[in-house]
Structure 1
Amino acid sequence: MLGEGGFGRVFKGVLSDGTAVAIKKLSSGGHQGDKELLVEVEMLSRLHHRNLVKLVGYYSCRDLAHNLLCYELVPNGSLDSWLHGPLGANCPLDWETRMKIALDAARGLAYLHEDSQPCVIHRDFKASNILLENNFHAKVSDFGLAKQAPEGRANYLSTRVMGTFGYVAPEYAMTGHLLVKSDVYSFGVVLLELLTGRRPVDMSQPSGQENLVTWARPILRDSNRLEELADPRLAGKYPKDDFVRVCTVAAACVAHEANQRPTMGEVVQSLKMVQHVAEYQDPLPTPSTNPHNKQSSTTFESDATSSMFSSGPFSGLSLFDNDNISRTAVFSEDLHEGR
């Protein structure tokens, strides 16, 4: 068995051609279980992106209450297990690996929001639904709660509140109004997990620090305190300027008002620019021990790049005031890579 959750259990399997796969056996949830199966099959049948888990097939037998989903095997566990579980206990994720995971997960969500037709809201984006390859490239999984985004004038869906405590956006939790920007909030929580190493909700923390976003918000507003957020397991081995930039992205994503949050496309661009700045500048004195991270040899020109955010309190903030890096280079790479 690979894992277990509220949806059921996940087992490792092997197809007749020798391909290793993951088999999710959904808990017998009656009509709701059937609905989640159909949603996930329908979604993944038409969603194809390198940062989304691929559905291989499914089996359903209502009489026996058997609902099985067969996925490509993503062999290196979840982000949750690396940040908060046994996988990362002896070998914590370094800064470069965390940023690789953040960018991949952002690309997966951006595809759902901006490149799929119709647009999809994941509704249960969290660290345990980010699965990792052996080279730590990330794939977004578990589309059982996903919803098709509204079209036309309506910018939200009225729906029963579902998701995971600590990741659910405030407007959705309070009103049942689900927006595309509700996923952005959830991504911001995951980004804070990567920065801090803390769980979204941890009752073992001191009073007032149990909720990650509530604890982090006042620190994110004070540039002199940002290093208080850093995961102690990073042992200070991260570029300080990049840490500040990623904190800015996280703060924008978890803004209380949905219209103050960036789009996932803007988040992808911002994280890619952070990555390119790190590649352009001199390497850290203590290089990453992760052999899977490769650096780009791209040359950049300055074009007075400003903030990637088009709205919200961070819209006028330049993340890259003095960096000799071109936004054009990042966009042209998008066209080459398909985001």
Structure 2
Amino acid sequence: MLNWLERYNIIGGIARGIHYLHELSRLKIIHRDLKPSNVLLDENMIPKISDFGLARIVEINQDQESTNRIVGTYGYMSPEYAMLGQFSEKSDVFSFGVMVLEIISGKKNSGLYEPHRVAEGLLSCVWRQWRDQKPLSILDASINENYSEIEVIKCIQIGLLCVQQNPDDRPTMVAIVSYLSSHLIELPSPQEPALFLHSRKDPKAFAQESSSSHNINASTSLSINEMSISQFLPR
């Protein structure tokens, strides 16, 4: 199991990697499929972003792009991308936020529905504990007392900010890197995160329903998140 310092460093490393893709690379890259299985750890536990098969290169001054072919992994896809086919840097920010909350809690995000049963997703659970002023209750039970409460709460707050419904309310990756590297910056207060459900039995139904509602003829290539951050191992 990863201790808190290792998890905190992994969060920071992933943030810097995405920031590089968005701002520092010669080409502006939107990954579009950020999830734990696409982040590898080297022998020094330094994260490396991998699998750029779905990545898109966009113009430096381009804020948003649309596609008729929605691809990615449920549980990490931003609502505007899953429902409208609209993706941007803020889509990657949303995926990063989900990963942050998974790293902290040791649980995966689901939010699946089946007949007669709805499972509470991780985002909903974290928001409920944050709203009730009990954020530390989501911390992975395997983490012992050797952790910084300030760092944990800050990372939870960052995670919630990243999964806001409105993309404009999500921070940029450069802001996130600054938040993680300084204890002096005051973070905005998050609002209720984006919450939407999809069917385990028919993962295409969600995108098809959205396509019908928004006149998008979307073909889908989707997978369901079955990854646990507690199994985040070096390769």
Q: CA deviation at 1:313?
A: 4.5
Residues in 1 aligned to 2:121 and 2:42: alpha-carbon distance in whole angstroms: 29
Residues in 2 aligned to 1:241 and 1:257: alpha-carbon distance in whole angstroms: 27
Q: Tell me the secondary structure at the aligned position of residue 200 of structure 1.
A: coil
Query: Would the alpha carbon gap of residues 157 and 130 (structure 1) be closer, same or farther in structure 2, given more than 3 Å must change?
Result: same
Question: Where do residues 168-207 of structure 1 align in structure 2 (5 Å cutoff)?
Answer: 168-201=77-110
Question: Where do residues 158-307 of structure 1 align in structure 2 (5 Å cutoff)?
Answer: 158-159=66-67, 160-201=69-110, 209-222=119-132, 224-273=133-182, 305-307=184-186
Q: CA deviation at 1:138?
A: 0.9
Q: CA deviation at 1:151?
A: 4.9
Instruction: For 1:142, give the aligned amino acid.
Output: D
Residues in 2 aligned to 1:150 and 1:257: alpha-carbon distance in whole angstroms: 22
Q: Name the residue aligned to 1:138.
A: 47
TM-score, normalised by the number of residues in structure 2:
0.73
Q: Tell me the secondary structure at the aligned position of residue 142 of structure 2.
A: helix
Computing the radius of gyration from Cα coordinates, the structure with the larger value is 1
Q: Tell me the secondary structure at the aligned position of residue 163 of structure 1.
A: strand
Q: CA deviation at 1:178?
A: 0.6
Q: Name the residue aligned to 1:320.
A: none
C-alpha contact 1:220 1:251 (8 A) present in aligned 2? no
Q: CA deviation at 1:210?
A: 4.0
Number of aligned residue pairs: 185
Instruction: For 1:249, give the aligned amino acid.
Output: I
Q: Name the residue aligned to 1:157.
A: 65
Question: Where do residues 97-112 of structure 1 align in structure 2 (5 Å cutoff)?
Answer: 97-112=6-21
Q: CA deviation at 1:236?
A: 3.8
Identity of matched residues, %: 36
Q: Deviations over 1:170-212 (max 9, x none)?
A: 1111100011100000000000011100012287xxx655421
Q: Deviations over 1:50-73 (max 9, x none)?
A: xxxxxxxxxxxxxxxxxxxxxxxx
Residues in 2 aligned to 1:313 and 1:177: alpha-carbon distance in whole angstroms: 25
Residues in 1 aligned to 2:128 and 2:139: alpha-carbon distance in whole angstroms: 15
Instruction: For 1:306, give the aligned amino acid.
Output: I
Query: Would the alpha carbon gap of residues 214 and 259 (structure 1) be closer, same or farther in structure 2, given more than 3 Å must change?
Result: same
Residues in 1 aligned to 2:77 and 2:94: alpha-carbon distance in whole angstroms: 7
C-alpha contact 2:126 2:135 (8 A) present in aligned 1? no
Q: List runs of 5+ in structure 2 lacking aligned partners.
A: 191-235
Q: Name the residue aligned to 2:213.
A: none
Higher relative helix content: 2
C-alpha contact 1:166 1:200 (8 A) present in aligned 2? yes
C-alpha contact 2:102 2:109 (8 A) present in aligned 1? yes
Residues in 1 aligned to 2:24 and 2:46: alpha-carbon distance in whole angstroms: 20
Instruction: For 1:266, give the aligned amino acid.
Output: A
Aligned-residue CA RMSD (Å): 2.0
Instruction: For 1:156, give the aligned amino acid.
Output: Q
Query: Would the alpha carbon gap of residues 215 and 135 (structure 1) be closer, same or farther in structure 2, given more than 3 Å must change?
Result: same
Q: Which has the higher contact order (CA 8 A, sep 6+)?
A: 2
Q: Deviations over 1:260-284 (max 9, x none)?
A: 011111111111225xxxxxxxxxx
Instruction: For 2:41, give the aligned amino acid.
Output: L
Residues in 1 aligned to 2:111 and 2:4: alpha-carbon distance in whole angstroms: 23
C-alpha contact 2:39 2:49 (8 A) present in aligned 1? yes
C-alpha contact 2:38 2:51 (8 A) present in aligned 1? yes
Q: Deviations over 1:97-117 (max 9, x none)?
A: 001111111111000011113
Q: Tell me the secondary structure at the aligned position of residue 109 of structure 1.
A: helix
Query: Would the alpha carbon gap of residues 208 and 221 (structure 1) be closer, same or farther in structure 2, given more than 3 Å must change?
Result: farther
Instruction: For 1:273, give the aligned amino acid.
Output: S
